[in-house]
Amino acid sequence: MPPTKSPDRSHPSLRTSTTKDDDRRALAGLLDELAALYREVDASFAGQTCPASTECCRFGVTGREPYVTSIELALVQRAIAARGGGRTLGRTPPPLTGHEDTSRGKRRLTTVDERVCPLLDENGRCAIYTSRPFGCRTYWCERATSPAGVDQRAINAFVRRIKDLAARHAPEGDLGRPLTRALAGAGANSGPGPRRRR
């Protein structure tokens, strides 16, 4: 019986396939590490309370927006894909009530002025809650309360670990960028898609 030949790994189609498989496995491993880190973050913030006003998800109201690294964006993209893609996002929730103060000469914010996070669904809930970025997990809005206060050293340690993961994901460097800009750059923030017919 003649000896069996092993596949020629030098053939370009086999190298490309192997490289893509290796890349997918490496990304899956990094995303698993990020998910485990997020569980630690959630546990450390378990004592925090949030009134679920979605005010912090309206960047024009707070004047702040969470930054995301490349690895966090990859997890967000995976969660968006699991929902059926970007066309399922961008359905605007109702405007906030109570944040406008016209008695002091401030104008009432329109929905556009609120700059609603594109991940917020029409019911005012995060469409990818379990995969939300670090900045969304750390209760940076003023409405959140904590019996022990915020441990800035713990937050900084988590940030360093996320940056380390991001550096392994994108060795050329990714220090983070605003969530809406990152989503737009990834093609995941193209606005509302067609509603499904029932």
Model confidence over 52-100: pLDDT tens digits? 788 888 898 888 899 999 999 999 999 999 988 876 566 667 677 654 4
Structure tokens belonging to residue 180 = 């809406």
The domain ranges of the chain are 23-95+109-185
From the CB of residue 20, how many other CB atoms can be counted at a distance below 10 Å? 10
Render pLDDT for 17-50 as a digit per residue (tens, 0 to 9). 678 899 999 999 999 999 999 999 999 888 777 7
Between CA 109 and CA 123 the distance in angstroms is 19
pLDDT of residue 88: 58
Residues 102-131, mean pLDDT to the nearest whole number: 76
Between CA 128 and CA 183 the distance in angstroms is 13
Using the 8-state DSSP alphabet, how is residue 182 labeled?
H
Helices (H), the chain: 12-44, 59-62, 70-82, 111-114, 134-137, 152-169, 179-185
Determine if residue 112 is left, alpha or beta; phi over 0 gives left, psi from -120 to 50 gives alpha, anything else beta: alpha
Q: Is the pLDDT of residue 51 over 70?
A: yes
**174 band by pLDDT with thresholds 50, 70 and 90:** confident
